Structure 1
Amino acid sequence: MDNRLCADCRKERPAFDGIACAGIYQPPGSEWVMALKFSGQLHWARAMAELMSPVITDWPLDWPLLAMPLHRKRLQKRGYNQAHEITRLMAQASGRRVLSDCLERSQYTAMQATLPEKKRRANVRHAFTVNGSVLPEALILVDDVLTTGQTLSAAATALKQAGVTTVYGAVFLRSGG
C-alpha cells in the first residue's frame, strides 16, 4: 500500500507500513493541537477523533488502536496523554478496541519539536519498549502530529521486533513538507 506513504517515506522506508491523517499542520487544527497538548483543553480531543475516525475506515475493523505513549515523567508533568485521549474517543466512534499497556516510552527524550530534523531519529531510536502482553498481528498507532515520522517509526520498530507484522499510523495532522 505505498499510496499511504509520501514520496519521502517511499525513498527512505520507515518502519510503519502506512499513515493516514485528517489534515495538514496549519491553523486552526495546529492551534487545537497546541491547546490540547499544552493547555489542558481536553475537549479538542473529541474534535480530532471525529475528524480522524473517517480516515481509517478502509482498514480492517479488527486492527485495534494503540495510543502513542508518553514517558512517565512527561505524563506526570502533563497529567494526561493527548494521544490516549484521542484514541479512546476514536474507539468509541469506530467500534475498534483499544490496546493499552503494551507499548511504553521507556527513555525520557527531548521533545522532538525542539530538535532539528537530523537529530530526531537518534533521539527516539531506542525510546520504546514492548511489554509482555499478547500482541495482534496488525494495529493502528494513534498520535496527534507527524512531522518527520521518526517517533512513529521508532515505535513501529519496537512493535515489529516484538512480533507485530503490520503497523499503520493515524495522526490528526502532518507537516506540510
Structure 2
Amino acid sequence: MTPEQLAAARDRTLTDVIGGGLRVLFCGINPGLMSAHLGQHFARPGNRFWPALHASGFTPRRFAPAEQYEMLALGLGITNVAGRATARADELTADELVEGGRRLTAKVEEYRPAWLAVLGVTAYRVAFADKHARVGPQERTIGATRIWALPSPSGLNAHWSPAALAEEFARLREAADHGAAEVPAPADGRGR
C-alpha cells in the first residue's frame, strides 16, 4: 500500500458488519486508513482485534479482516463510534465522538444486540458522557442491550498485553454466552 493510497483513504467510512439478533456488536473507535482503503475493519497488521477475538473463544479460528462478514453467522458484528477514517483515533474531536455516541445509540436501538462492546474506554467515556467508566460491564444500557467497555486493540495501546486483552474479551464472551446475570471477575483486577 502506497502513502498516496493511504492518504486517499482519509475521511472514508466503512460499511458496518451488522444484523439483527447479534450476541455482541463490537464497536471500534473509528476506521484506520488501511481499514478504509481495504474496506475491512481492524485491517492493520498490528491491530490485535482478530487475535483477541480468537484467543478469547469468540471465533473457532483466527479470522482475517477479509473474512469479517463470517462473524454474522457467529452472532457477532462490527461498527464504529465515529465513521471517518483517520491515521490515529486522537485526530477525532470530542464533538465527533459525542455525535457518534448518538448514532451508535440509534443503531443499537434498531438492531438490538444482546451486548454492545465499545473497544476503547476513553472513547466510550466521551461518547456516552461517562467520565468514570472503566473497562468491563457498564451500568448503562441501551434498551435491553448491555454495554461492555473493552480496551482498544490498537497496537498503540501498550498498556494491555495481547494476553490481558484476550482475557478481557473472554470475560465478555462468558457473559454473552451465559447471560448477563453473572459477569466473571477480572483475573488481575484491571478496570476496577
Does the TM-score normalized on the shorter chain lie above 0.5?
no
Higher strand fraction (1 or 2): 1
Normalising by structure 1, report the TM-score.
0.36
More relative contact order, 1 or 2 (CA 8 Å, 6+ apart): 1
**Normalising to structure 2: TM-score of the pair?**
0.34
